[in-house]
Structure 1
């Protein structure tokens, strides 16, 4: 049976055009060194079958309409293993990793093959014994397919036969209630992620056509999406955030999100699982993601995982000091926590 090409959505066409090319970097930090022997097998048997677009090119038909065309994937073209100097400290490898992320963030995915690639960093950093980076073009995936890709590849580290669970606003539920509500929690999670994803094109539209004033976080010059960025992260405790939220009446998260999404930045967030995950028997210590190629000087992404909130900052080099920005976030959180602790009940 002949395969029928799938039309590219208007959003997908805009996100992969002559004026804009948006990608996602998803970074997994492992507890153990990377064993790359299963890489091609896992890509063939788990990753590629998730979505036909992972095996497709974006092409124009005879009428000039963009379509997804199924092709044979040469996996060796999609797997990259960088070489860094040997014998360095873990702190030095953090710097090399950050420079490497900045490099691949600026590189365009070749249009001659499916729009994804993976990078295996086999050097130990202060955050991980090995690091895996997925780079996927945003035209490939919406919230549902991205999460489908993630959860099809990952398993619970303690018991792979059990499902991953996500934070719930209701505490003290019975185990039966927890099992019965699992589908609702996952559905709600996907819905929230999809809403975040659907808000993203509006933030791009706003930054492209509805111009904000120039500020310390918005350079306002042409071609900012083609300028190099630096990526750094900071981690906060979800328990401490919950304590702050409870003291302030539960409005902090909503207030912060509505404020940030009206400023000159991209902000995207994702709720992650409560249990530790693993990939091919590699326990995952931490994870974060970054949206790259957007026409803004500052991008902030947030993901929760194992009781921690990981905030990643992508900042235009030479305009925003990402280390100072994350330091300011940490200092602000410390001051808020101290102020809340002195509040009268």
Structure 2
């Protein structure tokens, strides 16, 4: 999910029309039709009337959720704007009648969400909808599915807005608390000042060097530098394929244990377990065409002696941040789309509430957001919530037919890393 284009509320009654921001126009560019999917697992059945009443008092009052996109001009110069409109919740809240005795409810929900993505949202209405599924799954009593067009805002701001519709389960009047990144301390003394000065210069020089390298790599990726063809690399046009969405909930305490023991950040840990999980998954996918412990040619690459994965494999991931104003955004969208097409996957993450919360009186068990519409076959999203971390995968099932296995590999990688940290004495085990 992209950050930097925050959802802003306009309180002036004289501004019924607001031009699309550069980021919003970016996500409305041709062949870049990106949506956010947020699956909410509830601990109780969902009362539709209560949810409708709650939305009327909160989300519907937000300018972006009560605005539709209009297009003026001709084919050579189109001016897109958000225009305030009357919201009819019946057009946005979908409550299908479901058989309570469905044999495989988890699979049904996965198929339901995939089918929802087959059709675009109606541009004549605000670009969001909520599906309420009163069906018991393996990890929830009922499921809510938000679908929101990415042009309405970045992932972090939209999730924050949805969290504003919730309250602490322990205190129905209190908003959820979200952890705030702590700033560095301001302690300074003359003895350390000398070394601090040279450290600052060194960090500045490294920043310049890394920036130059990143720019060169981006240009090369746009022009010719492609990732290797692997079992998880999508073919051209993958963004048009119907996606499948799966998730897995792991212990956030385990992630924080590794983080504290290794003096890392949470992002470092989730990136590490993603890489380890992908290695396990790819090793298994390659096993049908190579033999363990032998060197053998595979697609022109020499595989490692102790692995089925080819040596020198190029498999990159991307996280896009801080999209700023720029002229000619349609040109920018084409360039970025070309670069993304040459990269294998994306990883994103959003910080959630620190305690259990309720959605209009419905206690939440998990929150699993992700996106679709990017020109890649795999997106991995991490969402923290209380003492849990939900891993959400958005995959092209024609490329990754067994996404639950990939979830298993990421979860197992966390367990192995945690065990190694404890076993080597970096931290005492917590029961």
Is the structural similarity TM-score above 0.5? yes
In 2, Cα distance between equivalents of 1:12 and 1:293: 14
Residue 283 (structure 2) aligns with: none
One of 288, 310, 324 as aligned partner of 2:405: 324
Residue 165 (structure 1) aligns with: 177
Matches within 5 A, 1:215-226: 215-219=230-234, 221-226=235-240
The reply on whether 1:77 has 2:91 as its aligned counterpart is yes
Residue 41 (structure 1) aligns with: 53
In 1, Cα distance between equivalents of 2:88 and 2:112: 23
Aligned residue-pair number: 308
In 2, Cα distance between equivalents of 1:28 and 1:45: 20
Q: Is the 8 A contact 1:155 1:279 kept in 2?
A: yes
* Per-residue deviation, 1:31: 1.0
In 1, Cα distance between equivalents of 2:387 and 2:266: 18
Residue 309 (structure 2) aligns with: none
SS at match of 2:368: strand
SS at match of 2:268: helix
In 2, Cα distance between equivalents of 1:104 and 1:296: 19
Q: Is the 8 A contact 1:84 1:96 kept in 2?
A: no
TM-score (norm 2): 0.66
Q: Which moved more, 1:239-248 or 1:302-311?
A: 239-248
* Per-residue deviation, 1:208: 7.5
The reply on whether 1:264 has 2:344 as its aligned counterpart is yes
* Per-residue deviation, 1:4: 4.0
TM-score (norm 1): 0.81
One of 217, 223, 228 as aligned partner of 1:213: 228
* Structure 2 gap segments, 5+ residues each: 1-12, 183-217, 276-315, 319-342, 427-431
Matches within 5 A, 1:152-231: 152-167=164-179, 211-219=226-234, 221-231=235-245
SS at match of 1:269: strand
One of 241, 244, 247 as aligned partner of 2:255: 241
Distance 1:144 1:243, change over 3 A: closer
Q: Is the 8 A contact 1:106 1:293 kept in 2?
A: no
In 1, Cα distance between equivalents of 2:360 and 2:22: 36
Residue 214 (structure 2) aligns with: none
In 1, Cα distance between equivalents of 2:232 and 2:259: 27
In 2, Cα distance between equivalents of 1:156 and 1:45: 18
The reply on whether 1:16 has 2:16 as its aligned counterpart is no
The reply on whether 1:65 has 2:79 as its aligned counterpart is yes
Q: Is the 8 A contact 1:24 1:292 kept in 2?
A: yes
* Structure 1 gap segments, 5+ residues each: 171-203
Distance 1:6 1:169, change over 3 A: closer
SS at match of 2:164: helix
Q: Which moved more, 1:61-70 or 1:109-118?
A: 61-70
SS at match of 1:244: helix
In 1, Cα distance between equivalents of 2:177 and 2:14: 40
SS at match of 1:136: strand
Distance 1:216 1:252, change over 3 A: farther
* Per-residue deviation, 1:269: 0.5
One of 383, 392, 400 as aligned partner of 1:303: 383
* Per-residue deviation, 1:161: 2.9
In 2, Cα distance between equivalents of 1:87 and 1:126: 14
Residue 307 (structure 2) aligns with: none
Matches within 5 A, 1:108-123: 108-123=120-135
Residue 140 (structure 2) aligns with: 128
| Superposed CA RMSD | 2.7
Residue 44 (structure 2) aligns with: 32
Q: Is the 8 A contact 2:249 2:390 kept in 1?
A: yes
In 2, Cα distance between equivalents of 1:32 and 1:45: 22
Matches within 5 A, 1:138-153: 138-143=150-155, 145-153=157-165
Residue 335 (structure 2) aligns with: none
Distance 1:252 1:15, change over 3 A: closer
In 2, Cα distance between equivalents of 1:3 and 1:12: 18
Q: Is the 8 A contact 1:290 1:312 kept in 2?
A: yes
Distance 1:205 1:288, change over 3 A: farther
Q: Which moved more, 1:235-244 or 1:259-268?
A: 259-268
In 2, Cα distance between equivalents of 1:3 and 1:165: 32
Larger radius of gyration: 2
* Per-residue deviation, 1:132: 0.9
